[in-house]
Every structure is written in C-alpha cells, then in structure tokens.
C-alpha cells in the first residue's frame, strides 16, 4: 500500500482536516501521479455535506486533478514517468457496454462508473479518495494528457468545470448564430461563458450578482442580465436558443423557460439538492425542452484539453493553501469565488 496524505471529513457536519491514509499499490495498468493542483468544485461541498444522499466517510474530496506521473505499471503504454497528467470525476467504468465503448463512460449502462471519491473500486471494498491529497493511483485509461503550455493551476478546473460545460455545448452544436444564456457565474458558469464565446455564440450572463457584470464581459459575455430584476428578465422573454443552467441551489426554472424562444433548450448541469419544479405550459407552449448533462467521457475530456491548449483557455483561479479550504467552502456558498478555488498541493507538505 502507498502512504498518502490529504484533507478529509469524517461525517456530514465535519470540517476538512489533515488525514493520513493508504492508496492501493500500482497495478500493471496503473500510474501514480504526484498531485500538483486540485480544484474545488461545488460538487465537493454537496458530497462532503451528504446533500445528494448519504456519502461515504472518511472522504477525501477533489476531482479536478493535475499532477506529474512518478511511476507507471508494467503494462502502461499511454504515460511515462515525468509526464503531466489530469484526472477528473471518474476513475473506472465497465469498459464493455455500448456507452463505455462509444466514449460515454459517465453513462456506463452497467452502472459501474467508479467516481474519483465517495465511491468504491470494482472489488467492492476499496474506497476511492480524491485530489485534496499528495498522490493518486489510477488506471491509465482514466488519466488524460496535459499540455505544459498552460498554467497548471488554471488547467485543473478544466477536468470537471471545463468538460461539464464543453460537452453539452458540443453535443448541441452551439456556436455562431445562437443566442446562449449562462445561468450562474461560478466555476462551471465562467467556463460555459468562455467556451460559448469561443464557439462563436452570442453569450448573455444571467446572474444574481450585480458586481459580476464587468467580469462576465471580460470572460466573453456580450450581455448581462441581473436575474433579481424582473424588468431586466422581461427584456429576454422568448430570447435564447439555449440556456446553460449551472446553479447549485434551488431556483426558479420557470423564469428561465420563459426566456427560451420556440424550440429553445435549457441544459441543466447544476445539481441542486432538491427536485426541480416546472410549469408544463411553459414547456409545451413554445415547444421548449429541458435536459441535463453529466461531465463528459475520457476521449472528449482529452479533446477539450487540446482545444484549450490550442486556444489558450484556462480557468480563472484563486490559488489557495489547503489549510484555508474550509473558508474557501464558505466563500463558494456565498457565490464569492472568482471563479474557481484551486488548492496548491505543495501547501500540504
């Protein structure tokens, strides 16, 4: 077993604190990565607090991982020692079903996705632990190559916030000629703005925070709508082809449905803890649709990272010491993050 150091919680009320644990040994198809940066996703907070149903404790969160490969198993071909590598939300799946074979491992038909933390390996007993730690052991298939052209702290959030917004924008072929609203300017929202603008769409930031207008425009938004102001919301009635909804808390889905034009689509990527409520007439009246999307497959994650390296796209980050992680969570909960916290794992040592 490999001795590891990280930050963990032991129950839903706990604060994150230093914790020593063990990782599995490096198998033939595994690589071990010395973690350099680990992003802080709102999903970490949901799971730390058991907001999506009971979590598994102790939990080491973190699924936006960038680091350097320090050793590889005997059968590994994709990486060598010294390479940069990234890991996102998944570390395994069945590999055999239609969805896995088509590169949609996150939708594994056998339900055998193994999440990077808050899960157990296929042996049914070994817990998975995430990126708020000094190393991680992973099957090479679930690691992606990271370019050395971009600042690594800004790359880490691409492994979740990046792919989660890139994937549905690509699936719906969003680009030139489309009006896109992005609801919520946080980790996912700021990446949705960057990608939608890079793909040529007209982007409007839909935010509850008036002080984010300037940043939204710097990130690539063409317009800004303060969603707390009914008069501003009304100006966008029947306006958007697509709305990417990144909000983490319960909110008014009818407000955004009204903003969609005929055949408009609301793509939900935020995962509020409670069920959503919709008014049927708002859907059928204008043939609107509401759909969801979960992260993206491994091949598409590599495609997204390559696109970012080519177009110089990274996340806007506040790099923090791991000792300040609990305060960072409080700031995320107040929508006060510009626009992703990333832990410098050197601060663990």
Q: Which residue has the tokens 């590598």?
A: 85
**CA–CA separation, 192 and 187 (whole Å):** 9
Cβ burial 216-255 (10 Å sphere, 16+ → b, else e): beebbbebbbbbeeeeebeebeebbbbbbbbbbeebebee
Residues in the chain: 349
Choose the one of ligand NAP, Zn ion, none that binds residue 269, judging by a C-beta under 5 to 8 angstroms depending on kind: ligand NAP
Question: Residue 316's Cα: distance from chain center in Å?
Answer: 14
Choice between 72 and 89, CB closer to Zn ion: 89
Query: Given the rule CB under 5 A, which of 35-43, 95-103, 223-231, 329-337 is the region that contacts Zn ion?
Result: 35-43
Choose the one of Zn ion, ligand NAP, none that binds residue 189, judging by a C-beta under 5 to 8 angstroms depending on kind: ligand NAP
Return the residue of 46, 104, 179, 194 that touches ligand NAP, per CB under 6 A. Answer: 46
Q: Which of residues 276-295 bind ligand NAP (CB under 6 A)?
A: 293-295
Instruction: For residue 242, give the H/E element and its range.
Output: strand 240-245
Q: Give φ, ψ of 232 to 5 degrees.
A: -65, -40
Q: Which of residues 184-243 bind ligand NAP (CB under 6 A)?
A: 184-189, 207-209, 212
Q: Which residue has the tokens 């916290």?
A: 341
* Residue (of 179, 272, 184) closest to 227 by Cα position: 184
Return the residue of 41, 85, 143, 163 that touches Zn ion, per CB under 5 A. Answer: 41
Q: Is 270 a binder of ligand NAP (CB under 6 A)?
A: yes
Choice between 31 and 225, CB closer to ligand NAP: 225
Q: Is 295 a binder of Zn ion (CB under 5 A)?
A: no
| Minimum distance of Zn ion from residue 63's CB (angstroms) | 5
In terms of DSSP bridges, do strands 144-145 and 84-87 run parallel, antiparallel, or are they unpaired? antiparallel
Return the residue of 160, 182, 183, 267 that touches Zn ion, per CB under 5 A. Answer: 160
**CA–CA separation, 149 and 88 (whole Å):** 19
| Minimum distance of Zn ion from residue 40's CB (angstroms) | 9
Six token digits for residue 138: 């992973």
Choose the one of Zn ion, ligand NAP, none that binds residue 247, judging by a C-beta under 5 to 8 angstroms depending on kind: ligand NAP
**Binding interface with ligand NAP (CB under 6 A):** 41-43, 46, 160-161, 164, 184-189, 207-209, 212, 246-249, 251, 269-271, 293-295, 332, 335, 337
């Amino acid at each position: 077993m490999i001795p590891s150091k990280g930050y963990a919680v032991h129950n839903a009320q706990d604060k994150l604190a230093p914790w020593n644990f063990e990782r599995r040994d490096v198998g033939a198809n595994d690589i071990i990565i010395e973690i350099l940066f680990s992003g802080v996703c709102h999903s970490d907070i949901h799971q730390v607090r058991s907001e999506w149903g009971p979590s598994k404790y102790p939990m080491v969160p973190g699924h936006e991982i960038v680091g350097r490969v320090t050793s590889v198993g005997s059968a590994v071909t994709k990486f060598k020692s010294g390479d940069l590598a990234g890991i996102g939300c998944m570390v395994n799946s069945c590999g055999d079903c239609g969805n896995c074979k088509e590169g949609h491992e996150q939708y594994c038909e056998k339900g055998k996705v193994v999440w990077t933390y808050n899960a157990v390996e296929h042996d049914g007993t070994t817990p998975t632990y995430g990126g708020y730690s000094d190393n991680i052991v992973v099957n090479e298939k679930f690691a992606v190559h990271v370019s050395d052209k971009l600042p690594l702290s800004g790359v880490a959030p691409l492994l979740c916030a990046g792919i989660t917004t890139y994937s549905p924008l690509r699936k719906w072929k969003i680009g030139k000629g489309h009006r896109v609203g992005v609801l919520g300017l946080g980790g996912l929202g700021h990446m949705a703005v960057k990608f939608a603008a890079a793909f040529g769409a007209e982007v409007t930031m839909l935010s509850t925070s008036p002080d984010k207008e300037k940043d939204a425009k710097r990130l690539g938004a063409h317009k800004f709508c303060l969603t707390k102001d009914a008069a501003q919301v009304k100006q966008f009635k029947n306006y958007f082809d697509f709305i990417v909804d990144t909000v983490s808390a319960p909110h008014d889905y009818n407000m955004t449905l009204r903003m969609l034009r005929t055949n408009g689509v609301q793509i939900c990527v935020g995962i509020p803890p409670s069920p959503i409520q919709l008014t049927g007439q708002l859907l059928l009246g204008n043939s609107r649709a509401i759909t969801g999307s979960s992260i993206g497959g491994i091949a598409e994650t590599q495609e997204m990272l390559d696109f970012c390296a080519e177009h110089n796209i990274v996340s806007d980050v506040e790099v923090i010491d791991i000792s300040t992680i609990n305060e960072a969570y409080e700031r995320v909960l107040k929508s006060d993050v510009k626009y992703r916290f990333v832990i410098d794992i050197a601060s663990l040592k």
